[in-house]
Amino acid sequence: MMKKNMPIHTEVRSGVMVISPVGEFSKNSSNEMREIIVTAVDDGTTKIVFDFSALGQISSDGLRVILEAVKIMRSINGQIAIVDLAERVRAVFEVGGFFSLLEEFENIEQAVASMNDQSNDEPS
């Protein structure tokens, strides 16, 4: 029996793509997440926030997708952040050194505001 993919909710808030995976981010859902990220960037997205408030677990496959997202966003001078990590997920991110690659905020509103402030500071 094949495991069902986790739901992944997406929305755009003030020009920032918010991606909210629900449940377990594993191999089964990594291709869908990768596709969401690539499609968003192809459509012109330069700011992504991962909302992990409903994420219970993340596997090495899930971490790999997050790392790929960081590389993609850096290649286009984009911005990427994470919000609302559960302790179990936070521990995995700490061990993996992900906090040196990603900015973390308490909530989506703070992340969106910070990204939009940084964009406004850039010279035209």
Residue 14: which pLDDT band, with cuts at 50, 70 and 90?
Answer: very high
Between 122 and 27, where is the model more confident? 27
DSSP conformation class of 65: H
Give the model confidence (pLDDT) of 68-90 as tens digits: 999 999 999 999 999 999 998 99
Look at the alpha carbons of 120, 33, 12, 97 in this order and tell me if their dihedral is positive or negative: negative
Give the model confidence (pLDDT) of 102-124 as tens digits: 999 999 999 999 999 986 655 44
* Ramachandran angles phi, psi of 87, nearest 5°: -55, -40
Question: What residue type is 86 in one-letter code?
Answer: A
Q: Would you kindly state where each structural domain of the chain is located, as residue ranges?
A: 8-108
Does domain 8-108 correspond to CATH entry 1.10.10.10? Answer: no
pTM: 0.90
pLDDT at 3 over 60: no
Question: Do the Cβ atoms of 101 and 95 come closer than 8 Å?
Answer: no
